[in-house]
Structure 1
Amino acid sequence: MPRKDYQEQLEELEDDVLYMSEVVLERFRMGLDALERKDEDLAREVIEGDHEVNELYLDLEQDCIDLFALQQPVAGDLRFIAASFKIITDLERIGDLATNLGEYALEAERDVFPDVDIQSIGDETLDMVEDAMAAYAAQDPEDCFEIAERDDDIDAHCEAASETVVRDLIETELDEREGIDEDDIETFMTEVSRLLLTIRDLERVGDHAVNIAARTLYMVENDDDLIY
Structure 2
Amino acid sequence: MDNASYQREIINHAGLDMLNLSLSQLEKAKEAFLTHDSDLAEEVINTENRVNALDIKIEKDCEKFIALYNPVAIDLRFIMAIRKINFDLERIADHAYGISRYVVDVDKSIPKHLIKAVEFEKMYETISSMFDNIIEAFENKNVKTARKVFKKDKIVDVINVNSFNIIEEEIKKDNTIIAEALILFSVVKKLERVGDLIKNVAEEIIFYIDAEVVKHKRKK
Q: Is 1:50 aligned with 2:51?
A: no
TM-score by length of 2: 0.90
SS in 2 for 1:110: coil
Aligned counterpart, 1:142: 144
Aligned counterpart, 1:129: 131
5 Å-filtered alignment, 1:29-178, equals 29-106=27-104, 107-112=106-111, 113-115=114-116, 116-170=118-172, 172-174=173-175
Deviation at 1:108, TM superposition (A): 4.6
**Matched-pair contact (CA < 8 Å) for 2:110–2:181:** no
2:182 to 193, 198, 204: 193
Unaligned runs of 5+ residues in structure 1 are: 175-184
Deviation at 1:165, TM superposition (A): 0.7
Letter in 2 for 1:173: D
Give distance in 2, aligned partners of 1:142 and 1:131: 9
Letter in 2 for 1:208: L
1:47-106 deviation digits (Å, cap 9, x = unpaired): 111111000000000001111111110000000011011101111001101101111222
Structure in which a larger fraction of residues adopt helix: 2
Unaligned runs of 5+ residues in structure 2 are: none
Distance change in 2, residues 1:105/1:161 (3 Å): same
Deviation at 1:118, TM superposition (A): 2.4
Give distance in 1, aligned partners of 2:37 and 2:46: 14
Paired residues in the alignment total: 213
Letter in 2 for 1:189: I
Give distance in 1, aligned partners of 2:20 and 2:48: 13
Letter in 2 for 1:207: D
1:11-61 deviation digits (Å, cap 9, x = unpaired): 111111101111111111111111111111111111111111000000000
**Matched-pair contact (CA < 8 Å) for 1:87–1:212:** yes
Give distance in 2, aligned partners of 1:121 and 1:222: 31
Structure 1 residue runs of 4+, over 6 Å off? none
Q: Is 1:212 aligned with 2:207?
A: no
Give distance in 2, aligned partners of 1:127 and 1:146: 10
Deviation at 1:4, TM superposition (A): 0.6
Give distance in 2, aligned partners of 1:76 and 1:83: 10
Aligned counterpart, 1:180: none
**Matched-pair contact (CA < 8 Å) for 2:126–2:152:** no
**Matched-pair contact (CA < 8 Å) for 1:76–1:219:** yes
SS in 2 for 1:49: helix
**Between 101-110 and 44-53, the greater mean CA deviation after superposition:** 101-110
Give distance in 1, aligned partners of 2:126 and 2:189: 14
